[in-house]
Structures are given as C-alpha cells and as structure tokens.
Structure 1
Amino acid sequence: MVIQKRRKYDADFKRSTVLLSLEPGRTIREIADNLGIHVDLIYQWRKKYEEQGEIAFPGNGIPALTAEQKKIKALEKELKNITMERDILKKAMAIFSRTQ
C-alpha cells in the first residue's frame, strides 16, 4: 500500500491557476496537465473564487473575512475589553466604599 502525501498549494498559486483557467483559448485539462494537478482541483478553486472573490484563499485555517467582518470582530474584541474594565472598576468601587 502506497501512501501519498497530500500536497498543499499557496493562495497565489491557486489564484493564478484560476485566472489562467478563465483566459480564453485554454482548456482546464491542458492547464491541469501542465501544472501536474487534478482537473477537479481547478474546478473547486474556480467555484470558491467566483463565490468569494479575492478573499477566496486565506490559507491555514484562517476564515475568509470581508473588511466589514474584520471590523466587526475588532469592535467585538474592544467591547469585551471595555466591559471587563468596567466590571473591574465597579468591584473596586464596591470594595473602597465598604472600608469607609
């Protein structure tokens, strides 16, 4: 039994391959043979690129987020920090008001 190691492709390679496949005059089979990859990979990459555009291949388990989604995440993180600071100050005020 031969175990083949799974190959990984970076985002630039995927994006370039998709853009190459969208050019007229070339078949996907021809591109796949030249690059040494399976035809189905190109179809999967094309579908993902059509759905998500330039953010299609973030890599290494990083979710693809739009600029708005990134801003929302940053604001949620800031809100969490501010809420925690407020709670600490409330507890400190309660402690200091008891001792007087």
Structure 2
Amino acid sequence: MPARKRRSFTAEYKVEAAHRVIDTGRTIAEVARELGIDPGMLSVWVKDERRRVEAAAAIGDEPLSASERAELQALRKRVADQDKDIAFLKKASAYFAAMQNNRTGSN
C-alpha cells in the first residue's frame, strides 16, 4: 500500500478553522467534518488559539475580530497578487529594454 501524502496547513488556515469553532459555538467534530480534517487535529488548533487569545488578553491586547481577520486575509492576498504583478512587470521591462538596445545597436 502506498504511503499517504501528509497534508500541511498554513497558520492562517489553522486560526480560521479554530475560529469556526470558537466564534460559532459549533462542535469540533462538526467543523472538522465540514473541512475534511481530523477532529483531533482541529482540537489541537482550537486549544492553541484559545491559549493565544487568552495570552493576548492577559497583556491587554485585543484579538482580531472575525471581520478584521477576513480583511487581513484579503489584504495579504492582494499584496501577494501585486507582488506577482510587479515581478512580471520587471521581467517585461527588462525584455523590452533589451529589445530596444538590440534595435539601436544594429543601426
């Protein structure tokens, strides 16, 4: 039997999954089933996130609200998209600069 490939999850995904349990009051099993992940793994994420929120509250920091987390995720995606656009534009400008140099050098 071939070995199963182990899935990995980003920190943002883990936090979002944990908050589906924390913010909505739904059960870990229900959310895990919805996301297609192991309930034990989600349980660890929920415990970790609750500890993080409690630690932040202990030092006077307010945890991000659901809308703030969604906004942060959207902004991160936007920055990543813009980084891709900038990389493409750099390559395109280098290409056209090289083309221009070839034209002026051949006269």
TM-score band by shorter chain is 0.3 to 0.5
Bigger Cα Rg = 1
Q: Which has the higher helix share?
A: 2
Superposition TM-score, scaled by structure 2 size: 0.43
Task: Calculate the TM-score normalised by the size of structure 1.
Answer: 0.45
